Structure 1
Amino acid sequence: MTTAKTFNHIPLSVLDLAPVVEGGKPEQSFKNSVDLAQHVEKLGFHRYWFAEHHNMPGIASSATSVIIGHIAGATNQMRIGAGGIMLPNHATLAIAEQFGTLETMYPGRIDLGLGRAPGSDQAAAHALRRTLNMRVEDFPMQVDELQSYFEGTASVRAVPGEGLDIPIWLLGSSGFSAQLAAKKGLPFSFASHFAPDYTIPALNLYRDNFKADVLDKPYAMVGVNVIAADTDEKAEWLATSQQQQFLSIRRGQPTKLQPPIDSLDEVWSPMERATVEQSLSSRSTIVGGPEKVKKGLEDFLNETQADEMIINSQIYNHEDRVRSYEIVAELFN
């Protein structure tokens, strides 16, 4: 029989997409990230991750390793990392050197999460790689290669990087990385915040096939969207910014993060609404006041039996975003 987990026993972490808001610039996004990171560190959040995206006007974390260093330098003990680096976009040696540099500068604080998607459209992927010949089957080879640089067994030496203990996570929104993480005995983070329907199957694949290696036992983290406010009504209004962002991506016309609006009915069609609501399922997108958020997070923890949750809060106004994380911390600390 599975023992129910509680929030007293698992870490809570932050996923920051460094949102660029309508009327704003990336410069302000980075200042907001520093302020939020310093704030959530005081609130007791465990780690703070950035995701690599390209050709998206509303996300400023494209040079992911650079902003990780910026935030690590502005905080004291919280783990800072990538959730994640889209490895096919890069020369593996360059990532080993970049994260070797970060770990050398901020020892014991750097995480390296790896994904196999481009984090962009085809045009941006081509601009990054100059070729789209990289195959899905090449991702496991790249992970092996990266590990060999850190272990010092590659024919080329990563300096800095060689000999450093930098935790590697595999990230996924399907079963592929779940199986690879299980095979290699690595921690696994599932993107349930935008692929909720695949969460339990992927977690089961990971846990059922896990082979002890780097870790002795499985360690699974799940992504959750949380839009928390002091009332349900305000939270639902704030959530329209994220809904508009998903809608723009579905239309193939990504925009900056838009301000909240009173009604989305004039913005989307019934089919678009259904598509966005499927991606932002109430299972892993929790919107509301304190009690509703608490119940939603507890239910999702019980369903997933996650070892950790990483929370994304796409909120237009920075003060409201900070308040959302404060509410979560108040509920579970």
Structure 2
Amino acid sequence: MSENKRLHNIEFSVLDLAPILEGSTAANSFKDSLRLAQHVEDFGYKRYWVAEHHNMPGIASSATAIVIGYIAAGTSKIRVGSGGIMLPNHAPLVVAEQFGSLESMYPGRIDLGLGRAPGTDHHTARALRRNHQSDGSEFPQHLAELRSYLKPATPSPVRAIPGEGLDIPIWLLGSSGFSAQLAAQQGLPFAFASHFAPDYLLPALDLYRKNFRPSQVLEKPYVMIGVNVIASETDEKARWLATSQEQAFLNIIHGKSGQLKPPVQNMDEIWSPYEKTLVQKMLHYSVTGSQTTVREKLQSFLDETGADEMIVNTHVFDQEERINTYRLLAEAVKR
């Protein structure tokens, strides 16, 4: 599957959930995200994506297009985009106008990653979607409508200005076979959310690659996988930092949301053996450790998936340690 790919031959990017730390604010989260983006730009990462989530006290990126503009304005060359915009939450025309505006302001640097999930709970989804279906069944139609607004001007009573005629790369994001199949049919790049939903990764990639149809956008399949990485100078320190991530995923299985917590000395005092198993299963495509450990584990993921790109998420409480993870990772994969 890997075609003898090595880490230094693929692209690495950053997925930022704009975490709000326990005891902090969204304002501080945005400042931290911008500073991280400026650092990873210097480290050589290809793109910096932020994700749409709503009604979550620990995530500040609900107004995703605004955050993208803020990050793009404070950087100069790294691509900035959405990982992703949850399309059923929005009128396709509005998305076309928003990203047309961003592309016009920061030409050649904007990505539009699209998902079909609500990115929130049922009640908030209803508040966002109004009269839309809640099962994602309208996603292909919404995608077609959005893409029509971005085509060169044609006789139409409705036009996306800015937006029409602009070259804004569209990605489909998913955690199942639905988006994999649709991306293959449309000849679009595909990103899988293996950083929190690892179970269907390999079948989805196989489905995408086997059914891929070349398009004007893409001649052959292009796959990006999500991974969680926490790197430090030693395996022991990295494991300690990773307890913030483990607490966050423990909240997920409890159906709770909250701000990112500081690390703890012993997770066994917090979770049960069963909960530990569930969290570790969700974190299958995650790696915690020194540069050597990180490099070896990521190469194993690459051998398994044959990915063309990895997008890295890091749940670390301390901002300096978060930046340090991306520095150590960049050094590790270049070796």
- TM-score, reference length from structure 2: 0.96
Take 2:136 and 2:35, find their aligned partners in 1: how far apart are those partners? 37
Counterpart in the other structure of 2:62? 62
1:176 is matched by which residue type in structure 2? Answer: F
Counterpart in the other structure of 1:205? 207
SS in 2 for 1:241: helix
Take 2:2 and 2:248, find their aligned partners in 1: how far apart are those partners? 37
1:105-147 CA deviation, whole Å, 9 max, x = no partner?
0000000000000100001111212245244321011100000
1:264-320 CA deviation, whole Å, 9 max, x = no partner?
122122222221111011xx1001111110101111011111011100011000000
Is the Cα contact below 8 Å between 1:125 and 1:132 reproduced in 2?
no
Take 2:86 and 2:2, find their aligned partners in 1: how far apart are those partners? 34
Take 1:26 and 1:41, find their aligned partners in 2: how far apart are those partners? 22
SS in 2 for 1:196: coil
1:6 Cα deviation from its structure 2 partner: 1.1
Equivalent position to 2:162, from 146, 160, 163: 160
1:4 Cα deviation from its structure 2 partner: 1.0
1:290 is matched by which residue type in structure 2? Answer: Q
SS in 2 for 1:8: helix
Bigger mean CA offset, 39-48 vs 149-158: 149-158
Counterpart in the other structure of 1:331? 332
Aligned positions, number: 331
- TM-score, reference length from structure 1: 0.97
Take 1:309 and 1:162, find their aligned partners in 2: how far apart are those partners? 30
SS in 2 for 1:197: coil
Counterpart in the other structure of 1:231? 234
Q: Classify 1:2/1:113 alpha carbon distance in 2 versus 1 (closer, same or farther; 3 Å).
A: closer
1:187 Cα deviation from its structure 2 partner: 0.3
Counterpart in the other structure of 2:27? 27
Take 1:267 and 1:134, find their aligned partners in 2: how far apart are those partners? 35
Take 1:270 and 1:331, find their aligned partners in 2: how far apart are those partners? 33
Take 1:100 and 1:33, find their aligned partners in 2: how far apart are those partners? 23
SS in 2 for 1:48: strand
Q: Which runs of 5+ in 1 are unaligned?
A: none
Counterpart in the other structure of 1:76? 76
Counterpart in the other structure of 1:169? 171
1:215-250 CA deviation, whole Å, 9 max, x = no partner?
111000000100101000111011110111111122
SS in 2 for 1:226: strand
Q: Which runs of 5+ in 2 are unaligned?
A: none
1:210 Cα deviation from its structure 2 partner: 0.1
Quote the sequence identity (%). Answer: 59
Q: Does 1:285 align with 2:286?
A: yes
Q: Does 1:268 align with 2:271?
A: yes
CA RMSD of aligned residues (A): 1.2
Runs of 4+ in 1 over 4 A off after TM superposition: none
